[in-house]
Each structure stands twice: as C-alpha cells, then as structure tokens.
Amino acid sequence: MEHFNLKDLENKNHKLINDLQTSFERENELFKMSVMASTNLTLAMQKHNQIEMKLNKTREQTLLILEQYLKNLNTLKTLRKE
C-alpha cells in the first residue's frame, strides 16, 4: 500500500509541476500584456496631450478671428450710420 501511495504522490507532484509551469507561463504572458497596455496608454496620453495643445492653439486663433470679425462688424455698422 505504501508503494502505491508513493506512486500516486509522485504522479500528483509531476502534474503539479506541469500546472505550476503553465501557470507561470500564463502569468508571464499577462504581465507582458499589462506592460504593453501601460505603454500603449502612455503613448495614447502623450498623443492626446499633443492634440489637446493643438486644439487649444486653434481655439485661441478662432477667438482672435472672431474678435476681429466682431470689431469689423461694429465698424461697418458705425460707418453705415454716418
């Protein structure tokens, strides 16, 4: 009986070692995926920030143009009244 239990334990240990290796490999894959996702997120945030800066500059330009337009419109109104 002892020999049978020993063989069962050896088989179970062998299976556990295989399961452990599989689990380590999966953990490593997930870690790599996590790093890549983090890198992609960082790159995406950098790109977002660049676009946001361009958007802000364009908004400023739009406001300046709008301001000039309104001034010209007021000037036209004033000149038409004269």
Q: Tens digit of pLDDT for each residue in 25-49?
A: 999 999 999 999 999 999 999 999 9
Q: What is the dihedral of CA 51, 57, 58, 63, to 10 degrees?
A: 150
The pLDDT of residue 6 is 86
> Could you report the per-residue pLDDT of 68-81, keeping only the tens digit for each?
999 999 999 999 98
CA gap 34, 32 in Å, rounded = 5
The pLDDT of residue 5 is 87
pLDDT at 2 > cutoff 80: no
Q: Tokens 């300046």 map to which residue?
A: 64
| Average per-residue pLDDT for the chain | 93
pLDDT at 1 > cutoff 60: no
pTM of the predicted protein model: 0.59
**Stretch 46-59: mean pLDDT:** 96
